[in-house]
């Protein structure tokens, strides 16, 4: 099916679709998206914000009631609510076209429980954040194994963890607050395993002395779960159980041991969600979207803000969002104080990345029969002899499933050094009805229909 | 079905009435109902939420007749019918 081109936007009311004209469309309502939407509406632009989740906030500001949010988060969420921004939750952007006849941006979004939104705007701010990096190891597909962000998300969604024995394994300062919040929720965190060696953790902690506030925060989290063993230079090698997790095997450089547990949360860092940006042609480097001083990408009028431009944390995401929102609204000059803050936060982020680099042992945990692609149940032995991720996809279906390689892609890179393949529309699995709407709206690529149905 | 209490909703999880707090996601509701297998993988493994944020698609269930809904992205509603592929006994991931 080819895209319908050449007619005026308003003259193609796609059947069943809800069409909206805006100045700026923001994809993602996490800290960066919220800040961008706030700044853009304050500059009197009509803004539509799209997010998959039932509520704004993204992952770090996830909430069911604003009363549970911290001061900063609450302030931004409240500020967004006071703007004229048209915030749509529970919708997934499945297709985007930049340029074409009108020079506009068209975003097609599917509502989770039915319905299609088509938004046309003069600028696009991509604020799709990041996802967790998963390292495949024997047993990682068992129910009871989640990401640390996943566990925290499920907790905030209302799941009960009281009394559950939890092992947290991963790397970086993020695992500490998660351990603290799971403990607060009544879980028994029996081990926190940091894969980085003691020296790396200590050096990073010392480097934070220039940011006393951050250090203090980390220390407070540490105190909150003081009874929990925090083992550095330690990692999980396997999870076991029949039909659900019952135990994990843990290793350090000297020994391995097994301990019973109900929930294993792994956190091996974050992966920028660059799929939409790559789909529209934005240049990336080292897995992150390349942006200029205005957060502009290589494809005008597309801006990117937050974790997808490089993992840097919530403060950096907000700062980038503010800059992107203003720039998308046509404000020519970048606020110098925002620019300075962005630079300082990026330096800390790079330091963190170095301190918590993944150890070599994690690349060889998967055995021949360990599943690498969870959507298609592709095991390591089925792909190990291929040359790249494209071959693994074409011949063994790795990355062909519903998540479209979002989980196994970074794993393939870690295990084999393979770069992710081409991003195609639809950006998320979509219904055929959505795809036909997308085609009518002039937003579908010919590939869209072929890759439908998963 | 048990009476609906204030701030609570009742959903049907694999045919069983489950009372949960309003505002929780379907994923949280199923986990608290003791359901650990949300779907069966293509080779028949039980799978449950991994990422909790809409990325991994491991929490796919059928909600009110609509297949492949991500349980972590949908908030419960009174009378909602949720079916897991695991309960349906499917040996696949239930693709159409």
Q: For B35-78, what is each residue's pLDDT tens digit?
A: 999 999 999 999 999 999 999 999 999 999 999 999 999 999 99
Handedness of CA A245, B29, B21, B19 (dihedral sign): negative
Q: Do A52 and B29 touch (CB under 8 A)?
A: no
Residue A331 in tokens:
């404000």
Query: Average of pLDDT values for A144-150?
Result: 96
Distances in whole angstroms, Cα of residue A434 to Cα of each of A16, A325, B67, B75: 9, 29, 15, 22
Q: Residue A120 CB: number of other CB atoms within 10 A?
A: 21
Q: Do A453 and B53 touch (CB under 8 A)?
A: no
Q: Residue A256 CB: number of other CB atoms within 10 A?
A: 10
ipTM attached to this prediction: 0.90
User: Which of B32, B52, B58 to mutate to probe the A interface, most A CBs <10 Å?
Assistant: B52
In chain A, what residues touch B96 (CB-CB under 8 Å)? 453
Handedness of CA A353, A354, A356, A359 (dihedral sign): positive
In chain A, what residues touch B13 (CB-CB under 8 Å)? none
CB B32, CB B16: distance < 8 Å? no
pLDDT at A452 over 60: no
Predicted structure pTM score: 0.90
Q: What is the largest CA-CA distance in chain A?
A: 70
Return the DSSP state at A9. G
Return the DSSP state at B75. B
* Least confident among A25-34, A244-253, B1-10: B1-10
Q: Do A244 and B46 touch (CB under 8 A)?
A: yes
> What DSSP element (H or E) covers A199?
helix A198-207
Distances in whole angstroms, Cα of residue A14 to Cα of each of A5, A442, B9, B88, B95: 13, 9, 36, 36, 27
pLDDT score at A224: 58
Distances in whole angstroms, Cα of residue A442 to Cα of each of A122, A433, A448: 16, 14, 12
pLDDT score at B91: 43
Ranges assigned E (strand) in A245-390: 247-251, 256-260, 263-267, 270-272, 284-285, 288-289, 302-304, 371-373, 378-379
Return the DSSP state at A114. S
pLDDT score at A4: 33
A231 versus A84: the higher-pLDDT residue is A84
Q: Residue A258 CB: number of other CB atoms within 10 A?
A: 12
> What DSSP element (H or E) covers A89?
strand A86-89
Distance of CA A439 to the CA centre of its chain: 27
pLDDT score at A6: 31
Q: Residue A319 CB: number of other CB atoms within 10 A?
A: 28
Q: Do A150 and B47 touch (CB under 8 A)?
A: no
CA–CA min distance A244, chain B (Å): 7
pLDDT score at A208: 67
A133-192 residues touching B, CB cutoff 8 A: 134, 141-147, 149-154, 157-160
pLDDT score at A443: 55
Average pLDDT, chain A: 89
Give strand pairing partners of A378: A373
User: Which of B18, B35, B62, B73 to mutate to probe the A interface, most A CBs <10 Å?
Assistant: B73
| HSE-CB of A249 using CA atoms within 13 angstroms | 12
A173 versus A408: the higher-pLDDT residue is A408
A70-129 residues touching B, CB cutoff 8 A: 90, 92, 112-114
Burial B72-82 (b: 16+ CB within 10 A, else e): bbbbbeeebeb
Distance of CA B26 to the CA centre of its chain: 5
What three-state secondary structure class fits B66?
strand
CB A435, CB A444: distance < 8 Å? yes
Instruction: State the DSSP string of A250-288.
Output: EE-SS-EEEEE-SEEEEE--EEE--HHHHHTT--EETTE
Q: Would you place residue A185 in the very low, low, confident or very high pLDDT band (cuts 50, 70, 90)?
A: very high
What three-state secondary structure class fits A98?
strand
Angle at A316 between CA A427 and CA A80, to 5 degrees: 70
Q: Do B52 and A157 touch (CB under 8 A)?
A: yes
CA–CA min distance A189, chain B (Å): 18
In chain B, what residues touch A132 (CB-CB under 8 Å)? 51, 55
Query: Average of pLDDT values for A296-306?
Result: 97
């Amino acid at each position: 099916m080819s895209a319908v081109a050449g007619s005026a936007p308003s003259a193609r009311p796609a059947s069943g679709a809800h069409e909206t004209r805006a100045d700026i469309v923001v994809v993602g309502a996490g800290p960066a998206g919220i800040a961008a939407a706030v700044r853009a509406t304050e500059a009197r632009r009509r803004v539509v914000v799209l997010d998959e989740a039932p509520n704004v906030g993204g992952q770090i500001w996830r909430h069911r009631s604003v009363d549970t949010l911290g001061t900063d988060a609450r302030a931004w969420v409240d500020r967004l609510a006071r703007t004229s921004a048209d915030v749509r939750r529970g919708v997934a952007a499945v297709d985007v076209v930049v340029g074409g006849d009108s020079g506009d941006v068209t975003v097609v979004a599917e509502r989770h429980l039915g319905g299609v939104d088509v938004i046309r705007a003069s600028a696009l701010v991509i604020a799709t954040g990041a996802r967790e990096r998963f390292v495949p190891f024997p047993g990682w597909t068992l129910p009871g194994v989640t990401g640390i962000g996943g566990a925290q998300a499920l907790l905030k969604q209302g799941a009960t963890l009281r009394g559950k024995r939890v092992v947290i394994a991963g790397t970086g300062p993020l695992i500490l607050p998660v351990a603290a919040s799971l403990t607060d929720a009544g879980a028994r965190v029996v081990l926190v395993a940091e894969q980085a060696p003691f020296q790396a953790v200590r050096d990073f902690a010392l480097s934070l002395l220039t940011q006393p506030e951050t250090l203090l925060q980390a220390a407070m989290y540490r105190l909150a779960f003081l009874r929990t063993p925090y083992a550095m230079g330690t990692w999980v090698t396997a999870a076991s159980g029949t039909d659900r997790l019952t135990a994990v095997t843990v290793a350090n450089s000297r020994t391995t041991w097994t301990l019973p547990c109900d929930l294993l949360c792994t956190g091996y860092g974050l992966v920028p969600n660059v799929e939409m940006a790559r789909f529209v042609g934005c240049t990336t480097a080292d897995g992150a979207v390349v942006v200029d001083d205005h957060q502009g990408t290589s494809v005008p009028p597309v801006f990117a803000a937050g974790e997808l431009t490089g993992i840097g944390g919530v403060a950096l995401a907000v700062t980038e969002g503010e800059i992107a929102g203003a720039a998308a609204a046509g404000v020519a000059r970048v606020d110098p104080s925002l620019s300075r803050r962005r630079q300082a936060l990026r330096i800390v982020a790079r330091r963190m990345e170095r301190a918590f680099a993944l150890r070599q042992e994690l690349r060889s945990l998967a055995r021949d029969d360990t599943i690498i692609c969870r959507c298609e149940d592709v095991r390591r032995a089925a792909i190990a002899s291929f040359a790249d991720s494209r071959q693994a996809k074409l011949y063994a279906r790795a990355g062909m499933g519903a998540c479209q390689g979002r989980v196994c892609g970074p794993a393939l890179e870690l295990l084999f050094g393979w770069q992710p393949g081409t991003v195609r529309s639809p950006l998320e699995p979509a219904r055929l009805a959505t795809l036909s709407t997308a085609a009518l709206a002039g937003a579908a690529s010919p590939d869209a229909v072929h890759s439908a149905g998963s | 079905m048990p009476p609906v209490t204030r701030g609570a909703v009742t959903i049907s999880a694999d045919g069983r009435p489950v009372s949960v707090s309003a505002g929780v996601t379907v994923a949280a509701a199923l986990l608290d109902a003791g359901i650990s297998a949300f779907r069966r993988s293509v080779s028949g493994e039980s799978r449950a939420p991994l990422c909790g944020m809409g990325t991994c698609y491991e929490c796919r269930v059928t909600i009110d007749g609509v297949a492949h809904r991500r349980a972590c992205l949908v908030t419960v509603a009174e009378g909602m019918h949720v079916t897991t592929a695991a309960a349906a006994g499917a040996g696949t991931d239930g693709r159409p």
